[in-house]
Each structure stands twice: as structure tokens, then as C-alpha cells.
Chain A
Amino acid sequence: MRLRITGLQVRFGERRVVDLAELAIAEAEIVGLAGESGSGKSMTTLAVLGLAHTVGARVDGSVRLDGAELTGLSQREMREVRGRRIAAIFQSPALAFSPVFRVGSVVHRALRLHGMTRTEAAAAAQRAMRQVLLPPALLDRYPSQLSGGQLQRVAIALALALRAEVLLADEPTSALDVTVQAEVLELLRDLRDREGMSVLFISHDLAVVAELCDRVAIMQDGRIVEQGPTSRVVTAPASSYTAELLAAVPRLGAGGGR
């Protein structure tokens, strides 16, 4: 397993928002983390990246990347991991990009931060943009000039250009239209198949999770109540909570991942 989370607990003071006993993602696999809003899904992303302290939360437990423990690392060491080995994309792409920077500027700076020269960075950015089917010229635009779908694809391109091993996708399609959503989901499948990326797909939309993910974990109040291959969980849920969630979905069962 490329990414293995064990006994992860995230606390705000006395309140525990995340209590993950076990969650793992293999190479070339998309694992879904599904649950209602407020169940602690987004905090998991921050915790894995070692950024929980920025919102005032405390983290205990273990996160292993390729066997190496991340939770004890210093901030400087974690900065090597962030972006480069574990990338993240967020819910509102329009808000995730700073409005006063050109999109390409952020991409370029991030690439140079992780060791590329100016020419290497430019080349990698262009290549990645084409991979996500966007004209590289869009890099010169400001976020306000791009659509939500385009911005999300730029974010994915960034993860590609950095050659990240793991992608944490926190509600990446929740703010997009259904048609654009489908394109982004297709891209994520590409990442898994062509780049062998491990993707953690976090969403409250069980239908999308069912359509995209190979395996799925259901979260309730910070705890995982059920885990397993998507086809099994969706058709024969072991937990009553999962059954409730499934019942609430208007259209079911387009099947599991591949």
C-alpha cells in the first residue's frame, strides 16, 4: 500500500473530529471517502499534509507514505513532501487560486520550489496542461478569467507536473456542473491508469463516488463505519448508515471503478 493511514485522530481542543482506524490506498487505485458534510473528511486531507495545526487542530496517529512515517517529520521535511509527493486539489477551484496571481505564475513557482530550473518548469507546465487537455496559453490568465472546470484541471495539471505519487482530491467536483464534472472524473481515471497515481477521492456525493472509485470508505462523525470494494459496498452495505446514505441517492449503481 502506497499510503497507509492508521489510528489517525484529529482534535480541536477536546473535540475529536477525525478518528480513522485504518485507511490505505495502493498504487494506481482510487479510494473514495464518502460521508455527509461535516463528517471530518476535509480535516483528513489537512492532517495527512501535516497542515492541521494551521487551523488549530492537533493530530495523533500514523500516516505512512511508501513505508516512511510522515507524522513525526519537521515542517521543513514535510515541505518536501507537500506538492511533490502528495498533492491536493480543493473544492472551490475559483477560491483555491489566488486572485492576484496569474495561474501559470503559481504553477511555475511551485515547480521551481521543488527543484526544477526555469526551462524545466516551463516545459513541464506546458506538457501537463496538454495532458489535461487545456491550451498552455491559459496559464497566462488570471483565475477570474477561467471557468471552474478549467481551474480544477489546472490544479490537476500541477499535480501531474510535480509527478506526485498521491493525490488528495477534496470534493473536487462538488462546485462544478455535471458535464464538467464528467471531464474531471475522466482525468482522475487517466491519472490512475497512465501515471499510476494513488487518489483519495473525498466527496459527499455517493453517486459520483460509486461511479469513480475502486474502493470506498464511508465516514460518519469522523469514524469509518464501512470499507470495501465499491461494487460490494454499494450493492450489499454492511452498515445501516451506508444503507441510509444509499437510499438517499436519487440514482444508484453505475457500478464500481474500472
Chain B
Amino acid sequence: MIVYVARRVALAVLVVAGVIVLTFVIAHLVPGDPAATWAGPRASAAQVAAARRYLGLDRPAAIQLLSYFGGILTGNWGVSIHTHRPVLSDLAAVAPASLELVTAAMIIALVVAVPLGLISARWPGRAGDQAIRAGSILGVSMPIFWLALILQLVFAQRLRLLPVAGEYSPGLLFTHPLTRVTGFGLIDAPLTGNWPMFGSILGHMLLPAVVIAAYPAGLLTRMIRAQVLDTVGDAHIQMVRALGFGERAVFGRFAMKLAWNPVAAAVALVFAYSLVNTFLVEAIFDWPGLGSYATASITSLDTPAILGVTLFIALVYVAANLAVDIFQAAIDPRIRLR
């Protein structure tokens, strides 16, 4: 087991190194001269040259790469051209809101996917199954940014059921200001007893979370259906039936329990995937997370910020993959021995 974990970790480290190199390459694909951009449009040639020296752009590429590498590892992820703050601290400020949002989306997705997947598996081929399968394919085919706009129009603006945008009602800034402890609004609010804020954040989170939940819900429904159908012919399912358990228990408790392992793996992976989907949703709902930060950076061509977000999410993805690998090996000894 130790050997397996060590191998996976070593591989992950290698991949992370490669990811950092790749982001370095992307950074240098930017057309134009970064030194000139830094120095400004009215800089003289001498000032541009000075800027180049200052930014270290006159050194050979290999040295630049090494220093970039070292920077990443020591927490220097560059400075955002837009906010003029270190990218890493920008990320620390905006990441919690997105992590909250995606977590909420995953919960919604599971609440939808488990019952629907089970129903689909229990009566395969019938009308209900076909409808659920069509629905889940609809979920994974959804243009997220469009769904966000539509839901915002219908529920927030026309029906006025839900808030339009923002993380919480602006008025609460004055009446019940939120003291940030962990950075996570939904944790800080109850922690400081600020229940009106808690409710407001929840309400504002609902629409964007539902939008982001569409893809995972579709994916997980299909996966649960496939996993449960796979086990339905197994001997232990027959044994449980022979003991007198009804079909609902057979599917809901016994078959489903077996499906949790691969489903948990998928949840970890689609979590990182959904973090990227926030790019398409947060700006529309004014949700102050990674997505809004990324969209703003893209619009203002803030390369350090764009790459910082990219690196961050890639690291989350690698970490999630690693965690899944180790978790699955711990549960199923056959995986380690392969």
C-alpha cells in the first residue's frame, strides 16, 4: 500500500511540475512585449529596456523557467495587472466563495442523481428510464451560461422569487455586517451568529448552484444507473433477495452501497470540472468567486491572474485525482496489486 501511494504521489508531483512548465509556456505565448505593456504606451526605448531588466525578461529562457518555478513554490504567483495585488492573495480571497458554490452544487446534484439513477436502474427500458436518460443527457448538454441567463430572467426578474445577483443583500452590509473568519460565508455567518446573513447568502447561492449542478446531476445519474445495473445480476444481490428483502431495499440499500465508490470518485473529479464552469456563471450572478475573477482577468488581459487561476484549478484537479486513486486503492486491494 505504501509503495502504491508513494508511486502515485511521485507521479502527481511530476505532473504538477509539468503543469507549471506548461503555464510558463502559455505565459510566453502572449503576443506583444510584456515589458512594453509594463512600461506603458508612452515609454521610451530606454524605459522599456529597463522594464525588461526589472521583469527579468532579458535572462535566458531556462533561467526564467527556473525562477518561475521557484516563485510558484515559494508562493510568488506574480502580481495581477488589474488589481495590483499578488495573485496568490487574490486567489485566497476569491476561492472560498467558489468552493462554497461548487460544494452546494454537488449536494444538489447528488440529491437529484441518486433517486433518479435508482429509479432508472430498477425499471430499465421503460418510459421512466427513457425520460430520465433523456433528462440526464440534457443536463450534460446544457450550455451553462445560457441556463444561467434564462433562470435569472425567469426566477429572479420575472417571478421575483429569488435574488438577482450578488452574494447577499446589499442592505445587510450595514445592518448585519459579516465578520470573515475562515473566508467561507456559509461557515462564518453561523459561527458569528449572523443568521440573517446566512439566510441571505443561501438565497443568493441557490440559482447559481442549480445552474452549476446541471452537468454533475446528468453525469452522476447516468453513472449511478450504469453502476447499479452492473451489480443487479450479482450473486450477493440474489442472496439478499432470497433473504426476503424487497426490491426497494435491494436497489436502494444494497446495490447503491456498492455504487458509492465509483460515484465518490466521479464526484471528486467533477468538482474540479465544475470549478471551471464557474467562469461561465459567476459573472452573470455577480458571485464574488474564482469565476468572476477569471472572467474579469480575461477581459482585461491580466495574464498573471489568468495563469494563477489556471494553475490553482489544475492543482485542485491533480489533488482530487490523487485522493481518488488512494481512496480507491484503500477500499479495493485489487487495484494496488495491478
Contacts and interface: CB of A to CB of B under 8 A. Distances in A.
Contact flag (A, B; Cβ within 8 A): yes
Given A90-B239, A95-B235, A98-B240, A79 B245 contact: yes
Contacts of B254: 98, 101
B236 interface: yes
Interface stretch (A30-38, A80-88, A208-216, A240-248): A80-88
Interface string B239-252: 11111111000000
A79 B246 contact: yes
Interface stretch (A7-15, A106-114, A185-193): A106-114
Contact of A158 (B235, B243, B258): B243
Contacts of B243: 82-83, 87, 106, 110, 113, 158
A206 interface: no
A8 B196 CA distance: 69
B245 A90 contact: no
Contacts of B261: 100
A54 interface: yes
B300 interface: no
Contact of A90 (B233, B238, B257): B238
Interface residues of A, number: 33
B239 A100 contact: no
B239 A96 contact: yes
A99 interface: yes
Interface in A16-58: 46, 49, 51, 54-55
A6 interface: no
Contact of A95 (B236, B244, B245, B333): B236
Given A98-B257, A100-B257, A101-B257, A113 B244 contact: yes
Contacts of A155: 239
A181 interface: no
Contacts of A98: 236-237, 240, 254, 257-258
B240 A51 contact: no
- In this complex, the interface size class of chain B, counting residues with CB under 8 Å from chain A, is 20 to 34
A199 to B, nearest CB: 15
Nearest to B260: A100
A201 interface: no
A97 B236 contact: yes
A92 interface: yes
Interface string A142-173: 00100000000001001000000000000000
B236 A96 contact: yes
Given A90-B239, A106-B240, A99 B245 contact: no
Interface in B199-243: 233-243
Given A92-B235, A95-B235, A113-B245, A100 B240 contact: no
A198 to B, nearest CB: 16
Contacts of A90: 235, 238-239
A113 to B, nearest CB: 6
Interface string A228-243: 0000000000000000
Given A98-B254, A99-B258, A82 B241 contact: yes
B242 A114 contact: no
28 contacts: A46-B238, A49-B241, A51-B238, A51-B241, A76-B246, A82-B243, A82-B244, A83-B242, A83-B243, A84-B244, A90-B235, A90-B239, A91-B235, A95-B234, A96-B235, A97-B239, A98-B240, A98-B254, A98-B258, A99-B236, A100-B260, A101-B257, A109-B245, A110-B243, A110-B244, A110-B245, A113-B244, A144-B333
Interface of A: 46, 49, 51, 54-55, 75-76, 79-84, 87-88, 90-92, 95-101, 106, 109-110, 113-114, 144, 155, 158
